[in-house]
Amino acid sequence: MSYLLFGVIAYLLGSIPSALIVGKAGYGIDIREHGSGNLGGTNTFRVLGIKAGLIVTIADILKGTLAAGLPVLFAADVDPLIIGIFAVLGHTYPLFAKFKGGKAVATSGGVLLAISPLLFVIMLFTFLLILKITKYVSLSSMVTGVVAVIITIFMKHTGLIIVTSLLALFVIYRHRANIKRIKDKTEPKIKWM
């Protein structure tokens, strides 16, 4: 019963469409009608600028952190990593935005932040380094996922290895169109870094 309860709460938390809220409340824009149409930080950066992009990215990270932290907060006999997955699913397939959400990157990072802040810091550093080198947000996201899996293997935490691997595979799956555009050299590069 606890898994069901915390899973539903985590899914609903993940379903809060940060990009949609920031776009409509702060700019009078439905972000789904601009750029890639994606409800994530990258499209928000692209359409609304750095300030809005940072707000959305941080909010999306915190959704995962809060969801994974709930079982700990309530001292429930529930694995926070599993509950975190529900937040990622909520972000990707949000109840409050017709099940069309983001690509799972920030919220996945937020889940891992709740479990291992050091891992999150390494991921953030990796993401920014690859972004600086390539200018591709999508490629940086996927490489960061792979690096996170490698780091968890060294940490020898079986649950973390499994969940991080699942999240990394899901992030890569969600970026399959980006992979094709990178191959075709049509993927947009950032210009602010």
DSSP collapsed to 3 states, 132-165? HHHCCHHHHHHHHHHHHHHHHHHHCCHHHHHHHH
Residues near 87 by beta carbon (within 8 Å), at least 6 away in sequence: 10, 11, 13, 14, 63, 64, 66, 67, 68, 107, 110, 111
CA gap 1, 154 in Å, rounded: 33
Q: Are 39 and 100 contacting, i.e. CB atoms less than 8 angstroms apart? A: yes
Q: Are 103 and 95 contacting, i.e. CB atoms less than 8 angstroms apart? A: no
The region that residue 143 occupies, defined by phi over 0 for left and psi between -120 and 50 for alpha, beta otherwise, is: alpha
pTM above threshold 0.85? yes
CA gap 147, 108 in Å, rounded: 14
Per-residue tokens: 68: 């994974």
Q: Determine the pLDDT at residue 1.
A: 63
**Interval 85-119: pLDDT, tens:** 999 999 999 999 999 999 999 999 999 999 999 99
C-alpha separations of 96 from 11, 12, 46, 100, 162 in Å:
11, 8, 23, 9, 29
In the block, which residue shows the tokens 């529930």?
A: 78
Low-confidence ranges of the chain (pLDDT < 70): 1
